[in-house]
């Protein structure tokens, strides 16, 4: 009886030992599995991080190579004044352009006025090159540029619905080609400004367009392109955008949202297009001027903003988006700034750049009464 009980106990103990052994082996296997998972996950994340880093480096190298191989920068004789314009700037497509309040033929009238008035010699104007696809890819995505092959998409960007009915070949020629010429002018203006101290593109200032989308009569991000070219070709490392168009410059704000080399001062009416609240978060100096703001109020705010900007940032290049849709009576800007007020505004920005020893690029942007007020 005792032997039998002992045998049973011995057998039970042996079974218990096996169970215990299996239990601990299972725990060990689970732990090993978790360790292996963590190791694989760590390697995967490291590989992913390395891949992301490599992709970023590759994109940066590709951008730089595109800029260095671009033909948009070229030498200009000293006999030419640093003023850029082409008769190709004006946009005209079967009268449809008149369906938008933006004056798409203003650039030619500005230059004709200056020539007739004796302020400008026709032969001293600089003609820019058209920005190529490779030039545009410095900032824009391939998918965005492909979207412009749809007339409907272009119609939405320039806010003229009937353009959607036109063959895209016609839209490319009559709408997008003039925009690409103006982009070439803005890019070249930075080179001239570095050489001469200042330069004016009688066009450009498409501040509603960013790398992935256009809008507000802005199909290409000429300001962003201009700055990237300056970083890579002009040995410039600090740029200030002074955007004094009546509308918020949401395009360049999105493009330089995380770039501390760029300081953005944007003075705009918050009650009008584009209502881009996300982009407003990327403005370094936000100065809001509501509908009905008068000349004196406006200039006081500008003086204060420029004083602060001078203490916050030391630019080597100032990109001045000098829209005149702040003019009293402009249906889009809704501000009440006099012609003399606009002249004073422009003089203040030129003086600011001079005092900071910074080169200045001036873009005409919105409205019509522009360059004649500033010379």
Catalytic residues: 208
Q: Which residues of 211-232 are buried (b: 16+ CB within 10 A; e: fewer)?
A: bebbbbbbbbbbbbbbbbbbbb
User: What CA–CA distance (Å, rounded) separates 99 from 245?
Assistant: 21
245: left (phi over 0), alpha (psi -120 to 50) or beta: beta
User: What CA–CA distance (Å, rounded) separates 149 from 167?
Assistant: 10
The kind and range of the H/E element at 286 are: strand 285-288
Contact (Cβ atoms closer than 8 angstroms) between residue 266 and residue 207: no
Of the chain, the end-to-end C-alpha distance in Å amounts to: 121
**Phi and psi, residue 213, nearest 5°:** -160, 150
Residues 6+ apart with CB under 8 A from 183: 131, 135, 136, 204, 206, 220, 222, 225
Enumerate the β-bridge partners of residue 285.
265
Q: Give the pairing of strands 359-363 and 317-321.
A: parallel
| Helices 339-355 & 295-312 angle (0-180, nearest 10) | 10
Q: Count how many residues are written for the chain.
A: 375
Contact (Cβ atoms closer than 8 angstroms) between residue 134 and residue 62: no
Q: Which two tokens stand for residue 90?
A: 């004006």
Q: Which residues of 78-99 are buried (b: 16+ CB within 10 A; e: fewer)?
A: eebbbbbbbebbbbebeebbee
């Amino acid at each position: 009886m005792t032997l039998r009980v002992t045998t049973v106990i011995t057998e039970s103990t042996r079974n218990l030992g096996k169970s215990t052994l299996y239990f601990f082996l299972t725990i060990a296997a689970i732990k090993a599995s978790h360790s292996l998972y963590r190791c694989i996950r760590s390697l995967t994340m490291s590989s992913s991080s390395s891949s992301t880093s490599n992709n970023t480096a590759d994109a940066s190298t590709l951008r730089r190579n595109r800029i260095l191989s671009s033909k948009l920068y070229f030498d200009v004789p000293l006999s030419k004044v640093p003023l850029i314009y082409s008769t190709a700037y004006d946009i005209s497509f079967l009268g449809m352009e008149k369906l938008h309040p933006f004056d798409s033929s203003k650039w030619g009238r500005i230059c004709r006025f200056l020539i007739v008035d004796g302020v400008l010699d026709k032969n001293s104007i600089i003609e820019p090159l058209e920005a190529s696809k490779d030039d545009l890819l410095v900032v824009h995505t391939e998918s965005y540029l492909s979207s412009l092959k749809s007339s409907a998409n272009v119609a939405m960007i320039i806010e003229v619905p009937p353009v959607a009915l036109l063959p895209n070949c016609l839209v490319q020629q009559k709408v997008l080609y003039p925009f690409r010429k103006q982009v070439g002018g803005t890019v070249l203006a930075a080179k001239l400004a570095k050489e001469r101290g200042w330069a004016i593109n009688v066009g450009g200032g498409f501040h509603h367009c960013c790398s992935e989308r256009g809008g507000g009569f802005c199909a290409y991000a000429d300001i962003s392109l201009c700055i990237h070219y300056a970083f890579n070709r002009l040995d410039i490392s600090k740029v200030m955008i002074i955007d004094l168009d009546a509308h918020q410059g949401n395009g360049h704000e999105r493009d330089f949202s995380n770039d501390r080399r760029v300081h953005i001062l944007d003075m705009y009416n918050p009650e009008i297009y584009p209502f881009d609240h996300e982009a407003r978060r990327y403005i370094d100096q936000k100065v809001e001027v509501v509908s009905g703001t008068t000349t004196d109020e406006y200039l006081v705010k500008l003086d204060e903003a420029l004083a602060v900007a001078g203490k916050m940032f030391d630019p080597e290049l100032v990109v001045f988006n000098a829209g005149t849709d702040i003019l009293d009576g402009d249906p889009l800007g809704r501000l009440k700034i006099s012609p003399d007020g606009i002249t004073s505004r422009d003089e203040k920005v030129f003086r600011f750049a001079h005092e900071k020893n910074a080169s200045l690029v001036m873009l005409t942007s919105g409205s019509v009464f522009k360059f004649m007020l500033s010379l």
